Structure 1
Amino acid sequence: MTDTLDPIELQTALEAVQHAGVPGLFAEVRDHDQTWCGAAGVADVATGRPVTAEMRHRVGSISKAFTAAAVLQQAENGDIALDTPIAHYLPHLVPGERGAAITVRMLINHTSGLADYLPHAYPSLAAFPAVAKTTPKSLDDHRFTRFHPTELIELGVSAPPAGTPGGTPGVYSNTNYLLLCQLLESITGTSAEKCITRNVIDRAGLRDTELPTGPYIEGPHSLHYESWFGMIDPPRDYSVFDMSWVGPAASLISTVADLNRYFALLLAGEIISPSSLAQMQHTVPVISFEGKQIEYGLGLHRVEVPGRGTFWGHDGSAWGSGAISLISADGTRQASIAVNLQRWNRLDSSGRPQPHPIDTALRTLTHLALGHEQTSGKSRG
């Protein structure tokens, strides 16, 4: 266990991920009053433009920790009751017995049993992760497609259920969080993006964080290289992409510094009340997109790190970009890491991702950043 930051060790571990095959990555690590920032590799493989630790980046499902906080704020105001059925608020979106059985809390912790809509919106995801016979064509076809959230929700609600309402383990589903965004709009009378921006992003003072309404990343940023399990070779840039396919469920643009600031304030009770935070940290087993069981609360993962104890946070990915942000339960150690390559693993004959040197290098970096030098399994998602 390390109690202070070692810049040389951290930079060496960062560069090892780049040497393993990621074009570029960057990170910020905090330990008490110490802060280390580092970067390795390039933001653009064609020009050699380097990545920097201050770059803005699509952080995928880390967005869910922001959306969940906005919902909990409305619960504190008395405008939403977590254990009230979603049909009470949005009967037209989840009708009948399912709407009466699925509560707001079940949406936040992924125990609603609602299937994810993504395989239906993107046909190339239909067999994920067994995608050996599919192509990434739908990614290109939909680069500028503007989806309406209610049509995506309808795809998820009409799909075969992934489980029973309230049953565990839950199944991770973006349908849940698009419904929460519609709930926020219904309650506040404004868009979910504006509600989350005003009540969460601005409240936390995150000057480089936003929920985009168009396909572009404003300000300094890396290109986002998608490999699609080796079927896009060389990996293609998808930094320009209309994120309406996930909306505030996974469209957040941020920096590693802003992510660390947000989770520090969240665990300090500055974003939601201590009682709401306690509910946020009550976890249930949930099956991730990769088929692994994670401990999931109300928009937060719980991660146990050998020798360091409990960490809270979230990870996420979009096309070509990935990020993770974790903070120790006592708030003294934090790490946020961003990479500009996704789905680097090749597939075996059964369509399952094979191990890749990037996996080991990234795991080593993550655990070193969290203050523990030995590696341990951690899923990406």
Structure 2
Amino acid sequence: PPSPDTSAASVPGHGTHGTDALDEAALRAAVDAVPNQHATAALVRVGATGGTWRGSGGVRDLAGERPAAANARFRAGSITKVVTAATVLRLAAEGRVDLDAPVQRYLPDLFTPKFRKPISVRQLLNHTSGIQAGDGLGDDFAEAYAHRFDTLTPQRVAQSAIAKGPEFDPGTRQHYLNINYTVLGLLIEKVTGRTYAAEATRLVLRPAGMRDTYFPGTDPRIRGPHNRGYQKVERPDGTTKLVDVTEWNQADRWAAGDMISTTADLERLLTKLFSERIVPQPQLEEMFTTPAGLPEATRSAGLEYEKVGDQILWGKSGSRYGYSALIGGTRDLSRTLVHSVNSTDAKSAERNPVVDGITAAALK
């Protein structure tokens, strides 16, 4: 019999609630390709006007042959930014944050005289602030892995970034960096007097019904059912091995990338957010608006867009070592995609064939 944290959908390639609007054979083939050299597990949820498809493939860990848990929790990475943006926009709707006001007014002790030009809250949301990246715990995998149980606070990350001075004048370029959302996390705490996690839970997770989503902070574990994450590492002789990277203190990623979630919860976030049930319509427009005067910009407040055929898809991807995730859909929710892929090289700049295969099948 299945263990308590599995379901019928943990069978590789199992789909439910099929519809003619979706290419079930292509979706099943995409998840049945796992495990392989690119991924050890894949969890997929696709929505269309006529129904949904849910499937999973791969294994829970490399120690045995147990199928991947379909209800597994995983590191959502930068999809955290969607929650952070929605939290700020809800505070704006309540009149507690002015999107046009300079962040220096909210966090005067953080900024140095080097930042003479005001940076609006909106410019943090859409990555046009000009603030440089903060320091981390390593420049490559080996160094970061050695420090995986160390704590680097978001406050220190922000201070290290501000000390470098601006990279460019606010509003003149779009440069996607975690630091913008680290500073937004500090802004949320300053305005509300509560922790980022408490406010994000109150304003976004709870209204979205995301009961299996949480912010681990300094806890390196993934609580509850989960599939192990692995990173491919090259040995001195040129061969490769997979290193277990499941346990990892990601406190420095905080409001930019520290959330743990499930595909079911991320689907709830996507559908309720886009249907104006979390952020009111006037503020929600910020999530579907790219910065003025920057025609090449593809990022908005928390989201980014991509043209696929004759469709425009809005969404967000996220990756931490061992875990890649994505949420996306058309604004009218006529097509949605949520997936978690246990990528063996999640932070690579190269495209992952498993992720590409799932995306192509979902958008057919």
TM-score range relative to shorter protein: 0.7 to 0.9
| 1:295-314 paired onto structure 2 within 5 Å | 295-307=298-310, 309-314=311-316
TM-score, normalization by structure 1: 0.83
Check whether the contact 1:163–1:171 (CA below 8 A) recurs between aligned residues. Answer: no
State how far apart, in whole Å, the 2-side matches of 1:20 and 1:240 are: 21
| 1:248-259 paired onto structure 2 within 5 Å | 248-259=255-266
Q: Is residue 275 from structure 1 mapped to residue 286 from structure 2 by the alignment? A: no
Deviation (angstroms), 1:101? 1.6
Q: For residues 159-213 of structure 1, what are the alpha-carbon distances to aligned partners after superposition, in whole Å with 9 as ceiling and x for unaligned? A: 3643321112x11111111110011001111100110011100111111111113
1:202 maps to 206
Q: Is residue 165 from structure 1 mapped to residue 165 from structure 2 by the alignment? A: no
1:336 maps to 338
Change (3 A) 1:9 1:106: same
Q: What SS does the aligned partner of 2:255 have?
A: helix
Select which of 28, 34, 43 maps to 1:11.
Answer: 28
- What is the letter of the counterpart of residue 269 of structure 1? E
Deviation (angstroms), 1:330? 1.3
1:261 maps to 268
Change (3 A) 1:153 1:99: farther
2:11 maps to none
State how far apart, in whole Å, the 1-side matches of 2:344 and 2:190 are: 35
Deviation (angstroms), 1:49? 2.6
Select which of 180, 185, 190 maps to 2:189.
Answer: 185
Q: For residues 58-80 of structure 1, what are the alpha-carbon distances to aligned partners after superposition, in whole Å with 9 as ceiling and x for unaligned? A: 11000000000000111111111
Q: What SS does the aligned partner of 1:58 have?
A: strand
Change (3 A) 1:78 1:151: same
2:155 maps to 150
State how far apart, in whole Å, the 2-side matches of 1:148 and 1:324 are: 26
| 1:366-381 paired onto structure 2 within 5 Å | 366-370=359-363, 372=364
Q: What SS does the aligned partner of 2:79 have?
A: helix
State how far apart, in whole Å, the 1-side matches of 2:182 and 2:170 are: 17
Deviation (angstroms), 1:344? 6.2
State how far apart, in whole Å, the 1-side matches of 2:154 and 2:30 are: 40
Q: For residues 3-35 of structure 1, what are the alpha-carbon distances to aligned partners after superposition, in whole Å with 9 as ceiling and x for unaligned? A: 612333211022235445311111111113522
Select which of 358, 364, 378 maps to 2:357.
Answer: 364
Change (3 A) 1:238 1:344: closer
Deviation (angstroms), 1:99? 6.1
State how far apart, in whole Å, the 1-side matches of 2:165 and 2:228 are: 36
State how far apart, in whole Å, the 2-side matches of 1:71 and 1:215 are: 27
State how far apart, in whole Å, the 2-side matches of 1:124 and 1:315 are: 21
Check whether the contact 2:290–2:297 (CA below 8 A) recurs between aligned residues. Answer: no
Give the gaps of 5 or more residues in structure 2: 1-18
State how far apart, in whole Å, the 2-side matches of 1:344 and 1:179 are: 25
Q: For residues 285-311 of structure 1, what are the alpha-carbon distances to aligned partners after superposition, in whole Å with 9 as ceiling and x for unaligned? A: 9x9xxxxx761000011121114x111
- What is the letter of the counterpart of residue 155 of structure 1? S
| 1:20-39 paired onto structure 2 within 5 Å | 21-32=38-49, 34-39=51-56
Check whether the contact 2:114–2:165 (CA below 8 A) recurs between aligned residues. Answer: no
2:319 maps to 317
Q: What SS does the aligned partner of 1:96 have?
A: coil
Deviation (angstroms), 1:138? 2.2
Deviation (angstroms), 1:257? 1.4
Change (3 A) 1:230 1:99: farther
Change (3 A) 1:86 1:229: farther
State how far apart, in whole Å, the 2-side matches of 1:298 and 1:344 are: 24
Give the gaps of 5 or more residues in structure 1: 126-135, 288-292, 347-352, 373-381
1:245 maps to 252
Report % sequence identity: 32
1:132 maps to none
Check whether the contact 1:17–1:362 (CA below 8 A) recurs between aligned residues. Answer: no
Select which of 65, 90, 94 maps to 1:77.
Answer: 94
State how far apart, in whole Å, the 1-side matches of 2:252 and 2:66 are: 29
Change (3 A) 1:196 1:369: same
- What is the letter of the counterpart of residue 79 of structure 1? R
Q: For residues 318-372 of structure 1, what are the alpha-carbon distances to aligned partners after superposition, in whole Å with 9 as ceiling and x for unaligned? A: 12111011111211211111111243698xxxxxx6x67x43x4223202212x2
- What is the letter of the counterpart of residue 369 of structure 1? A
Select which of 51, 62, 78 maps to 1:61.
Answer: 78
CA RMSD in angstroms comes to: 2.5
